[in-house]
Structure 1
């Protein structure tokens, strides 16, 4: 970078230094300074001459950014509207004054959200004083969306994101990025083991109870993951926020009642047909119902809490929710078994 700066002219050096000052993953780092701008006080004839002169050096001239004498962004102008206007018309008369811009320190994820919301192909970037300093194009945003999506996928699978492609990343690097979460989840699973150990006397009395533990844990974990993924997607798309927590819980509660009742009835028939035991079928089915309800409430609540705490909601996805729900399912299971089955 220093070599490039030393070999450039003063104006280019100033612009490069300006970009280097911005935080990582900010609009300032993402923007290009190869934008086309016009002064609001010039005529269409003068503007067309300037566009012809600067167009070879600009990344795009489809949208022209209009500034005042202090370089404040005051409007935008489509190149088609410029060419269709009379030569004597002033730029300030035909520009669109309703400008949507991004700030240099705005996070790239927020910039991507604006592109998706307004269907823009490019967007101006302004500084603290609303002076035009650059622009961001849709090509840059596509890269950001891909990067953010990839990062979320890794987090939802309890892995740290990698910067290079899978084949270019070394084995030790991949192992290191996976080990931390595996260790955390392994330690958290200790609570599940403690619950089983506490109720080992119940398992000793009725060994058949142990055969249903994997099914109960898997089903409740899957139910929680379904809610979590739905809420995370809605949060990312700005469809819901933390203030909608109770509405989301009420909706997921109704969903859990329907799905929980369905899988419980199906499981009741299966267990009774296979084992010819009404008490066991009742214990397993009732546990399954309450576990699904609890799992969906936990699954929809944790991502919203993460958003409120300024954390990535993807962190609260499948692995963490599954660990919590497993413990809840076991507690419900053994307590219901103690109520229904004699001698436990």
Structure 2
């Protein structure tokens, strides 16, 4: 019983210290919002019946505080992006019609973010099939969740993490009928049937990003945003499985991955440049193959010379 009490006390200490740690990293205004939006239920006073009521929170409006704090916007106040009219509680129904800000609204024309080329990204996006079909209704937030966004493509230590993050972004809509129908009149694509021409589907989905085959690759942009129509998608195996692999201009062009491919451990080299993922011209394997061939030729030549000398 004694040990149980100690364990219980310790659990409470960890629990409340964790909550304090989370709360201390958030602006006070955000903490007020998250009192409701970080929970599955909320309460309000109903003037009509003059009583306190408790209701279920819309799951699309529930914020994961851990993901929010770890994202690039975690230090922002909610009112930095949302109308300050939300301070009134319960919220006015008309606020649901508030247009959400896009990336370019904050980052466009700002020299601080010039390296990220938001204006060029916007130009390329406006050429994409998404913009052609939905126009302004297809905003950045359809793919990039502003509450949780993290620059995985710039900071990840593995190709797999980049692939998983990027594909989850695409599949959050293309493998989700409810979300897909908010931007399309269709029922949603049948991914396996659409990709029935692709051998080893599961392996490809885990090894390359959807955008590696479905976008116009531009070397000067970190990530291409010009999503092509499915009829224009890459269906040529040699496009990736060759010495001039397209993946070198897209998935494998990140500096952090390139440095690991040349200077990192043997394992990371195999991971980053393996043939099954794309580039079969692995520098280390190429050198090993040349050395093996060279030693083989030398061995045959030495054997032939020894036989000739022996006969004499």
TM range (shorter): under 0.3
Q: Which has the larger radius of gyration?
A: 1
- Which has more helix, going by share of residues? 1
- Which has more strand, going by share of residues? 1
Compute the TM-score of the two structures, normalised by the length of structure 1.
Answer: 0.25
Compute the TM-score of the two structures, normalised by the length of structure 2.
Answer: 0.27
With a CA cutoff of 8 Å and minimum separation of 6, indicate the structure with the bigger relative contact order.
1
